[in-house]
Amino acid sequence: MAASILLLLCSSSFERPNVPVHQPIIVTADSLHVRSGPGRSFSITNKLTKNTRLSVSDRQGDWYYVESSDIQGWVFKKFTKTVALRSVQPSMQVAQREPVYTLSKSLRHLKGKTIIIDAGHGGKDKGAIGTQGTYEKDLTLRTALILQNKLQKEGAHVILTRTHDEYLLLSQRTLQSTKADAFISIHYNSTNNSQLTGLMTYYYHQHQDSPLTHSIHQSLINHAKLKDKGERFGNYYVLRENTRPSTLIELGFLSNEREETYINSISYQQMITSAIAEGLNHYFQSKEKTQTHL
């Protein structure tokens, strides 16, 4: 009886891992069991085939808690290997079999809107380099591609300042925004202090930019499990020289090893792009209400 109670308690405590790790892995065995807990005594809930890609969200000894779009459970890590996201092109990273963070509601206010998505850095400009070798330019492009897909599904007209690894002048990034309804520049942070974590958003023109920045920032904070570092004035070219509502967002610190791993995961990318889309929808909804009452 005592053993049964202990097993039940262990099973319950392992159902929801507390600390996200989000390390991408690939199955190396021809067949790998997924179990309800971290040990061979736990029941088999599924079976994986060789080369299946998954995301690790917790570790217990020699066991990984893994997730995909339709599988959650524990696998023996000996029969897996880690995958370096930098070895996968951003366009391919978008299609990886990872948990999908679905939009919480219909975003009808995005329909017909023209939105510029600026993936920061590119080409010879790598941007920040993470503690594990992540290039900011790769991560911003992956985020931009996922966000583009979500906005287009809601009927928005989306323009990317770059669609591959290329260097752009700052003036080229703002050139297409003259007729846009919103301009979003995507970045990831870095600092000499490896303890700093969190996300922040920037605006330049108070009246033109701050409503957009506020809507997106609030949505990011409501969804992301990252520290709120606030909305700030930023004297950045892509904001300063922009004639349309614009914002620059820093979606986490690559200089913090744990946060770098977390923000590199496709599950985080899915979540954060959904948050941006919902923030945009709220911005346009509020703007339409204001115009109606004028």
**How many CB atoms sit inside 10 A of residue 11's CB?**
15
- pLDDT one-digit tens code per residue, 224-237: 889 999 999 999 99
User: How confident is the model over 91-116, as a mean pLDDT?
Assistant: 69
Distance CA 113, CA 33 (A): 46
- pLDDT one-digit tens code per residue, 238-253: 999 999 999 999 999 9
- Give the pLDDT of residue 85: 55
Which distant-in-sequence residues (6+ apart) come within 8 Å of 235 by Cβ? 204
Lowest mean per-residue pLDDT among 66-70, 140-144, 148-152: 66-70
- Give the pLDDT of residue 86: 55
Distance CA 67, CA 183 (A): 33
Q: How confident is the model at residue 208 (pLDDT cuts 50, 70, 90)?
A: very high
- pLDDT one-digit tens code per residue, 150-189: 999 999 999 999 999 999 999 999 988 888 999 999 999 9
Supply the DSSP string of 165-207, one letter for each residue: S----HHHHHHGGGG-SEEEEEEEE--S-TT---EEEEESSHH
Distance CA 47, CA 221 (A): 36
Helix axes 136-153, 266-292, angle to 10 degrees: 50
User: How confident is the model over 23-30, as a mean pLDDT?
Assistant: 85
Q: Residue ranges per domain, the chain?
A: 23-82, 107-292
Which distant-in-sequence residues (6+ apart) come within 8 Å of 240 by Cβ? 204
- pLDDT one-digit tens code per residue, 123-141: 999 999 998 788 999 999 9
Statement: 107-292 belongs to CATH 3.30.70.100? no
In single-letter form, the type of residue at position 78 comes to K
Distance CA 25, CA 33 (A): 15
pLDDT above 90: residue 281: yes
The answer to whether the beta carbons of residues 222 and 176 sit under 8 Å apart is: no
pLDDT above 50: residue 9: no
Distance CA 122, CA 250 (A): 16
- Give the pLDDT of residue 4: 39
Token match 């974590």: residue? Answer: 197
CA 130 to chain CA mean position, Å: 16
User: How confident is the model over 262-291, as a mean pLDDT?
Assistant: 89
Choose between 261 and 99: higher pLDDT.
261
- Give the pLDDT of residue 89: 53
Provide the mean pLDDT of the chain.
84
- The first and second tokens of residue 210, run together, are 């701050």
User: How confident is the model over 184-202, as a mean pLDDT?
Assistant: 95
Q: Are strands 53-60 and 182-189 parallel, antiparallel or unpaired?
A: unpaired
pLDDT above 60: residue 271: yes
The answer to whether the beta carbons of residues 117 and 186 sit under 8 Å apart is: yes
- The first and second tokens of residue 266, run together, are 């496709």
- Give the pLDDT of residue 101: 56
- Give the pLDDT of residue 102: 59
Of the residues 136, 231, 250, 260, which is catalytic? Answer: 250
Does residue 250 carry a catalytic annotation?
A: yes
Which distant-in-sequence residues (6+ apart) come within 8 Å of 170 by Cβ? 237, 238, 241
Domain covering 23-82 in this structure, CATH number: 2.30.30.40
pLDDT above 80: residue 66: yes
pTM here is 0.70
